[in-house]
Structure 1
Amino acid sequence: MNAVAVLRSPGVARLGGAGLLSEAGDWMLFIALPVFVLQLSGSPLITAAVFALELLPTVLVGPLAGVLIDRVDPWRLMSCVAVLQALLLLPLLLVDSAADLWLVYVVVVAESVLGTIIEPCRTATAASLVPVGDLMAVNQLMAVLSSVARLVGGPVGGLVLALGGIDLVLLADAATFLAAAALLVPGCRGAGRPAASARVRLFRDWADGIAVVARVPTLRRAMGVTACMALAQGAFVVLFVLFVFRDLHGSETDVGLLRGVQAVGAVAGGALLGLVSRRSGVPRLVAISLAVFGLVSLLTWNAPAVTTALGVYVGLFIAAGIPGLAAMTGLVALLQEHSPEEARGRVMSTFFAVFGGVQALGMLLAGLVGTGTGLTVALQVQAGLYLLAAALATRLGAGAPRVTGDGGSPARPRSTAASTG
């Protein structure tokens, strides 16, 4: 089944539509809030600190959020979180000066905590809506919708900011969360999951989820690949800006353009992903995609020796979006497929926590790099990390078969385990 056909599976359209709306709103705020904070504070450091705060809940709260995801009806959880995301934006309407920036810090952390819950919950829920054989298709669909949200939300956020200021952006973002919640409400099944919530042993259940990752070879290896990818991605966030200014002699506009066009490649690549994955297999697809991503990165970082024409780099960044989407989609599908259903939320939360934590480490390490020879070396190392991740990914297909709830034989495909009807 391809990504379009999988929309017919009960619940998938609602889940994808809700994700598209809420992520478009996220990108609107992601574009507008840095400008607003910089205007109030006049400090790039304070602006950067606001967004560094977003990583903390992913690392600290993420694994524990997985316990909640595995114990509560996922549709009800996601709809409630979406409403809270809308309500918690409203205090930002009170921010008028630099003295009010503490409200921004509080809201950013609170929104990040809620995002730490809803992202792995959406991923775990998507896996329960389709048979195992359609995991790549449903993840492909979600990834393409996420890229569309990025393409739409960013420009709209800038336009809304110009027309109505930050207050209009906040209200528009809140509206997207409420619309997403409305789409998710029909999925609430009333009975929810087994009434184990009263008996939740928070840290023990979290430790049990970590034990699942450690016990299943594919999950264990996938986390190693994730860590390597995240280190490279974190370094990219810092090194990329330095590269544009030093090597391409570009501007802030060029930085925004090159970051945005990667989503174009992701959308285009999504159309081919299903065909490629069926022919090569998911583990091999992940390894090949990471290798291609690493090679495109090497080509990009060294191309200024030949040309600094911006059009060349637009093409390279679009090209990088294709293997980038394929690698992440395949990796998520493997995590979903090899996770016991009752622990899938904790596995996915662990994945997001590892990615966020190591990504932060990559940012810090890259922040120590200067703009001279150190930057040149760091760029090569960053691309090399993707090649190392590709080498690690060649082992993803080896080891034990898919596990069931008891860690035994392969699971039978399920078509509508969490369907909305």
Structure 2
Amino acid sequence: MSFLFLLKKPNLRRLLTANFLSGIGDWFNSVAVLALLLEITGTAIAVGITLALRTLPHLIFGPLGGLMADRFDRKKVMVACDLVRGFVALSFLLVSEKSDVWMVYTGTFSLVAFSSLYNPARMSLLPKIVDPEELATANALDQSIYGIVMAIGSLIGGIFVALWGSDLAFLFNALSFFASALFLARLKVPASPNDPVSNVQLQQAAKVSSYGEVIRAITSTPIVYAIFLLKAVWPIGGGIINVLISVYAYQVFAAGEWGIGLLYGAIGIGFIIGGILAQRFQRYFYEVAASSFALEGFGMLLTSFSPTIYVTALFFALSTVAGGMGNASLNTLIMRHVTPSYHGRVFALDATISNILIGLSMLLGGWILTMADPRIVGFVAGLLITIPSLGLGPVIWRTVRAGDNEPLANKNHAR
């Protein structure tokens, strides 16, 4: 099944367009906020506080977003979050001097908070607007869109701010959220979603179940548990890699801001290609899910040996090709092995754990880089991704071979 075939579906096209618009706006906002902070404060401390505030809301609002996605109309949750984010984005236009920096902190926290409420609903909505056999292709397409957003946002976000200033970037971000809300409002979600669980009482029980029950169901379902562990170990090395992107560009290769844009652009291109290949290899997505993160980690490891920034960009691109394929495959597995009544909380737990670990890893990485050579740190970070993935990937494959294919809620109910 091709991307073009899926893009003929109006609902999926509206969902992806909404994600694309708000994603581009987010990149413009990120560049504009960091530039504005350095301009009005002249210190990197404000930048550090802002980056930290992009992690904290996930811990508080991520689990709440999962509950909202499972208990309320997911489309309405997303539209409401977009509208609120649009007005929050406009608040950055009020910042003009150092005494206004609190508004930057408040606005940043609020944007991430409502994104944490938005994302579980978005991930949970996808299986409702495509057929079960289209899930793998839809997730692959979603990864490619993510890569396009990253590539475009990283390459032109800085240019946009440099030419037209931060205020226009903030206005663009606000308008992108309002436009996204319009596209989402036109979504028509089927009244009877594609749900592998036919027992109505079981579905209702899942809707009112607690996080504790969902966690117990995850840990008692081998394939879902293995996926969670695999997606949880990646951020330990991945957060350090995120810090290294700027360090490689500035310190190792003296390439400055254009070097950061080059590396982020390469990562975005990698996700685009990864999504395309995931669609091509959807018949083998179990194998891809089992091996991709180890390959991604190995690619990250190779960056520590790069002689030039261009080779580094190539290794980043190759590693994220594997990562993009893996993300699409693992998300498909979660959607297939978890009943839709649990989707919001399962994806919320996934995002919350990942974002908190990435934040801690970034803090640790920043501290280590004050004492250690960046190439050594990059090598160790690559190992931290590769070695655990080599151990957990085969668990997923063995579980599939053993025939563990029942939806999570069915297995938990049977116990």
Structure 2 letter corresponding to 1:237: N
> Which residue number corresponds to residue 311 of structure 1?
310
Label 1:14 to 1:389 Cα distance change in 2 as closer, same or farther (>3 A): farther
SS in 1 for 2:96: coil
1:241 is aligned to 2:241: no
1:342 is aligned to 2:341: yes
> Which residue number corresponds to residue 222 of structure 1?
227
Which deviations, in whole Å up to 9, do the C-alpha atoms of 1:207-259 show, x marking residues without a partner?
A: 23323322322221111111111111111122333344443343232123212
Answer whether contact 2:144 2:271 (CA < 8 A) is retained. Answer: yes
5 Å-filtered alignment, 1:53-64, equals 53-64=53-64
Which deviations, in whole Å up to 9, do the C-alpha atoms of 1:259-289 show, x marking residues without a partner?
A: 22211122233222222231xx223202322
> Which residue number corresponds to residue 418 of structure 1?
none
Answer whether contact 1:265 1:322 (CA < 8 A) is retained. Answer: yes
Structure 2 letter corresponding to 1:359: I
What is the CA distance between 1:36 and its match in structure 2?
0.9
What is the CA distance between 1:405 and its match in structure 2?
4.3
Counterparts of 2:135 and 2:189, CA distance in 1:
23
> Which residue number corresponds to residue 129 of structure 1?
129
Label 1:299 to 1:30 Cα distance change in 2 as closer, same or farther (>3 A): same
Q: Which 10-residue stretch deviates more, 76-85 or 371-380?
A: 371-380
> Which residue number corresponds to residue 381 of structure 1?
380
> Which residue number corresponds to residue 293 of structure 1?
296
What is the CA distance between 1:390 and its match in structure 2?
2.4
Structure 1 letter corresponding to 2:338: S
Counterparts of 1:404 and 1:223, CA distance in 2:
13
What is the CA distance between 1:173 and its match in structure 2?
0.9
5 Å-filtered alignment, 1:315-394, equals 315-370=314-369, 373=372, 375-391=374-390, 392-394=392-394
TM-score of the superposed pair, with normalisation by structure 1: 0.87
Of 189, 206, 211, 2:211 maps to 206
**How many correspondences in the alignment?**
399
Of 400, 406, 415, 1:402 maps to 406
What is the CA distance between 1:178 and its match in structure 2?
0.9
> Which residue number corresponds to residue 91 of structure 2?
91
Which deviations, in whole Å up to 9, do the C-alpha atoms of 1:268-311 show, x marking residues without a partner?
A: 33222222231xx22320232222222222222123xxx33x33
What 5-or-longer segments of structure 2 have no aligned partner? 194-199
TM-score of the superposed pair, with normalisation by structure 2: 0.88
Answer whether contact 1:64 1:206 (CA < 8 A) is retained. Answer: no
Q: Which 10-residue stretch deviates more, 116-125 or 400-409?
A: 400-409
1:232 is aligned to 2:232: no
What is the CA distance between 1:23 and its match in structure 2?
0.6
Higher RCO structure (Cα 8 Å, ≥6 apart): 1
Answer whether contact 1:223 1:354 (CA < 8 A) is retained. Answer: no
Kindly indicate which of the two structures has a greater share of residues assigned to helix: 2
Which deviations, in whole Å up to 9, do the C-alpha atoms of 1:133-179 show, x marking residues without a partner?
A: 32221011111112112222334433432343222111111111111
Query: What's the % identity of the aligned pairs?
Result: 24
Label 1:372 to 1:56 Cα distance change in 2 as closer, same or farther (>3 A): closer
What is the CA distance between 1:336 and its match in structure 2?
1.6
Counterparts of 1:102 and 1:253, CA distance in 2:
30
What 5-or-longer segments of structure 1 have no aligned partner? 411-421
Of 265, 270, 273, 1:260 maps to 265
Answer whether contact 2:71 2:207 (CA < 8 A) is retained. Answer: no
What is the CA distance between 1:114 and its match in structure 2?
0.7
Answer whether contact 1:66 1:120 (CA < 8 A) is retained. Answer: yes
Label 1:201 to 1:275 Cα distance change in 2 as closer, same or farther (>3 A): closer
Structure 2 letter corresponding to 1:273: A
Label 1:154 to 1:255 Cα distance change in 2 as closer, same or farther (>3 A): closer
Structure 1 letter corresponding to 2:58: T
